[in-house]
Amino acid sequence: MARQSKHVHRQALVPAVIAAAALVGGLLAGGGTSQAATQGPCDIYASGGTPCVAAHSTTRALYGAYTGPLYQVRRSSDNTTRDIAPVSAGGVANSAAQDSFCAGTTCLITIIYDQSGRNNRLTQAPPGGFNGPAAGGYDNLANATAAPITVGGHKAYGVYIAPGTGYRNNNTNGIATGDQPEGMYAIFDGTHYNGGCCFDYGNAERNSRDNGNGTMEAIYFGNIKVWGYGSGNGPWIMADLENGLFSGVNQHYNANDPSISHRFLTAVVKGGPNRWAIRGGNGQSGGLSTFYDGVRPNVSGYNPMKKEGAIILGIGGDNSVGARGTFYEGVMTSGYPSDATENAVQANITAAGYATGAAGTGLTPGTSVSLRATTACCTDRYIHHTGSTVDTAVVGSGSSATEKGNATWTVRTGLADSSCVSFESKNVSGQYLRHQNYQLHVQASDGSALFGQDATFCPEAGRSGQGTSLRSLNFSDRYVRHYNNTVYIAANGGSNAFDSTNAYNDDVSWAVSSPWAS
């Protein structure tokens, strides 16, 4: 214990010094937010006079000088833990340390440390108005390898929130309470969401219960329509203010809050006395747009606010655990950040270089590939078809020309999304891999939007740490997986036999190989 509190104390001092230095730098520079290359988002917030009071990320340091732990993993083989730090001050997480610690076993993310020095770390959420699914009613912890990406070309892992997963801190330091002003942003996977309550990051109740309107102020992301919603079919960035997800001043519909689903989505919510805002943008390029900026909702109980200052991730204020999503980084500030400060933070985010890691996987439209299984059982098997039936089959140099062609795919620009890909049979032109009832088949396109979506897969870094994983475009928690030599789109831990967690990450990681048929 003594060692731990000393450690926390040292952590507390470093960002305070950085913040002061950044603030002085900002003042000397005329109060602007111009930044050195080594600045992180929290240096920018500090320069703007609204310092971070919580800074969470499993992917990178959020201060230019931060060298402390980013997160902790626990492995199942012996229940020991390991802190994962940036590779260098202000740098990307040392994912190689996680990979070697977790090799041959599975790891969970047990702590997401607070880089602000206030010890507002996130740990397994306790039971609340709703009990979690794990023993004792606690929420589940995230699988540490379930959200691999790259930042600036370096592999890192996000926090993959499956329904039932949640993190919380009910005993925080420096987080806004009552009607005090605060800001927050988070980077989410804009393609991973659902209509459950509530994938949130931000300010919530200290007793994990619904304490009434205005007792929360968190970023929400998803497509639930029970409370508020915006234009289109979602997903939307909204503010969870308790007993209501707000997309603007009205309780339900606000036309200016758009559906938004960038693969790396920057989501912003801020609130102070009778003013709040929703902003958002693409975490890979461009700036932020403002979707709402105005007075508190025209519903009683939200002005003044009664914020309590706990912090949640992946759950609702009362520990509702029905939602899914993926979190990469996020902060909460003291004070209401200016739009200019947030714009500078967005520039820092886009410069960091978030990517799926698919570049270089060899899935270039127009080329041909074979897709080899990487699970130890099956490394001689390839995705293959016989007519419309898809399986994994052993293919080798002695296989017939027909069999080689049946295990070869021409990569096409995704039929329903040009940033993803489709796979056309080498042997039967015009016929594509598509899923139907979650199983893969080879079929000719009927020209429908549904066929296009069913036949479009988004490549990501292999979820096992090797190869490439292929995420279904229209079922974003499902990846192409072999199971008993049949090929499905499978969700890790879903309700079908082929969703089994056993060997899931290996089964969904494919080696993109030279084509058997040229």
42/166 Cα distance (integer angstroms):
24
Specify the residue, 228 or 467, whose C-beta has the smaller distance to ligand AHR: 228
| Residue 54: CB minimum distance to ligand AHR, A | 18
CB of 498 to ligand AHR, least distance (A): 32
Helix (H) / strand (E) containing 482 = strand 479-483
Q: To the nearest whole angstrom, how small is the minimum distance from the Cβ of residue 315 to ligand AHR?
A: 8
Q: Is residue 462 a contact partner of residue 468, using CB atoms and an 8 Å limit? A: yes
Taking the least distance from each CB to ligand AHR, the nearer of 68 and 222 is 222
| Minimum CB distance to ligand AHR smaller for 227 or for 504 | 227
d(CA 356, CA 313): 22
Residue (94 or 203) nearer to ligand AHR, CB: 203
Q: CB 203 → ligand AHR: shortest distance, Å? A: 11
Question: Which of 344-348's residues contact partners 24+ apart within 8 Å by CB, and which partners?
Answer: 344/33, 344/34, 344/35, 344/44, 344/48, 345/41, 345/44, 345/45, 345/185, 346/266, 346/281, 346/283, 346/287, 346/288, 347/287, 348/35, 348/39, 348/40, 348/41, 348/44
Nearer to ligand AHR among residue 151 and residue 241 (C-beta): 241
- Shortest spacing between CB 285 and ligand AHR, in angstroms: 31
CA distance 326 to 192: 7
Of 159, 157, 160, residue with least CA distance to 99: 157
Residue with tokens 């599975």: 106
Closest residue (Cβ) to ligand AHR? 316
Name the residue with tokens 């706990």.
310
Expressed in angstroms, the distance from the first to the final Cα of the chain is 63
* 302 vs 382 by CB, closer to ligand AHR: 302
Rounded Cα distance, 176 and 169, in Å: 14
184 closest CA partner among 34, 32, 33, 50: 50
| The token pair that represents 445 in the structure block | 């396109």
Minimal distance in Å, beta carbon 319 to ligand AHR?
A: 8
Binding residues vs ligand AHR (CB under 6 A) = 197-198, 210, 227, 240, 242-245, 316-318, 320
Cα separation, 476 vs 325, in Å, equals 10
Min separation Cβ 408 and ligand AHR, Å: 49
Residue with tokens 């802190």: 83
Q: How far is the CB of 313 from ligand AHR (least distance, A)?
A: 12
Token representation of residue 274: 């009778």
Cα–Cα distance measured from residue 506 to residue 499, given in angstroms and rounded to the nearest whole number: 13
Tokens of 113: 């440390």
What are 44's two structure tokens?
């920018």
Minimum CB distance to ligand AHR smaller for 114 or for 210:
210
How far lies 104's CA from each of 158, 290, 465, in Å? 20, 46, 12
Max CA separation in the chain (angstroms): 75
Give phi and psi for 146, each to the nearest 5: -80, -10
Looking at the DSSP assignment, which residues form a beta bridge with residue 221? Answer: 237
DSSP characters over 123-177:
EEPPP-SS--SSGGGPPBPPBTTSSEEEETTEEEE-EEE-TTB-EEESS-SS---
Closer of 175 and 512 to ligand AHR (Cβ): 175
Find the shortest distance in angstroms from Cβ 325 to ligand AHR. 13
* Three-class SS state of 194: coil
Positions annotated as catalytic residues are 242, 318
85 vs 63: CA distance, rounded Å: 13
Specify the residue, 95 or 243, whose C-beta has the smaller distance to ligand AHR: 243
E strand or H helix at 277: strand 275-282
Closest contact distance (angstroms) between CB of 335 and ligand AHR is: 24
227 vs 409, beta carbon nearer ligand AHR: 227
